[in-house]
């Protein structure tokens, strides 16, 4: 990018890509994406995020299977709610990350025990670790777009976060924020409608 307008265009052009070419991503490119993500702002400049990069087809499949099992159990326990069929169509895509060449699990460090003791339910929000990791995830996806890669941020899979954490060896205080499916795009989705500013902003004067 040569100027600020390129950045503004990049923000508008980023899409959630769900179809990828069967083409590997080099370790050099992956490391560059993580390095660029690390320039996101973080609470107290702690940078207490973690990027777990999963390229192994077997590991990705294990993760997807865990997500499907978890959602099958959730839906089975709620058969009487009346919306299960609609939910099945929706949740069927929560494990699609397995088809991407790479999945990056973005995690944040949970508040320490003292923080939790002092602030109770407000501890996570005031610590800011999850917000920091989310900003880093956005930076990573914008960097991916600039480098010709496609990405999709996914959170439905986090219903199985305990199983996923075991599969990728997360520490007890590392809490998942999102999964990013990553690869060279085999599609370029049309831009979805965005709500106008008048619907999403309040200006207090």
What are the tens digits of pLDDT across the range 143-168? 999 999 999 999 999 999 999 999 99
Which pLDDT score is estimated for 90?
76
Instruction: Tell me the mean pLDDT in the region 115-141.
Output: 84
Q: Which pLDDT tens digit goes with each residue over 51-63?
A: 999 999 999 999 9
Q: Which pLDDT tens digit goes with each residue over 14-44?
A: 999 999 999 999 999 999 999 999 999 998 9
Instruction: Tell me the mean pLDDT in the region 121-128.
Output: 76
Percent of the chain having pLDDT more than 90?
71
Which pLDDT score is estimated for 121?
80
Confidence of residue 142 (pLDDT cuts 50, 70, 90): very high
Confidence of residue 2 (pLDDT cuts 50, 70, 90): low
Residue that is written with structure tokens 């839906």 in the block = 75
Instruction: Tell me the mean pLDDT in the region 105-131.
Output: 80
- Judge: domain 16-186, CATH 3.40.109.10: yes
The domains of the chain are located at 16-186
Which pLDDT score is estimated for 82?
67
């Amino acid at each position: 990018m040569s100027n600020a307008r390129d950045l503004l265009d990049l923000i508008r052009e980023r899409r959630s890509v769900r179809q990828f070419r069967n083409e590997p991503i080099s370790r050099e490119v992956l490391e560059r994406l993580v390095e660029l993500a690390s320039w996101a702002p973080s609470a107290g400049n702690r940078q207490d995020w973690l990027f777990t990069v999963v390229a192994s087809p077997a590991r990705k499949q294990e993760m997807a299977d865990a997500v499907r099992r978890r959602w099958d159990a959730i839906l089975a326990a709620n058969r009487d709610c009346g919306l299960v069929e609609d939910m099945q169509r929706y949740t069927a895509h929560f494990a699609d990350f397995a088809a991407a060449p790479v999945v990056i699990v973005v995690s944040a460090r949970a508040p320490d025990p003292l923080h939790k003791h002092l602030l109770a339910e407000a501890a996570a929000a005031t610590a800011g670790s999850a917000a920091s990791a989310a900003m880093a995830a956005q930076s990573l996806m914008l960097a991916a777009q600039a480098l010709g890669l496609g990405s999709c941020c996914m959170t439905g899979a986090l219903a199985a976060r305990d199983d996923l954490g075991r599969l990728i060896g997360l520490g007890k205080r590392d809490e998942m924020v999102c999964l990013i499916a990553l690869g060279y795009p085999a599609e370029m989705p049309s831009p979805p409608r965005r709500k106008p500013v008048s619907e999403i902003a309040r200006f207090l004067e």
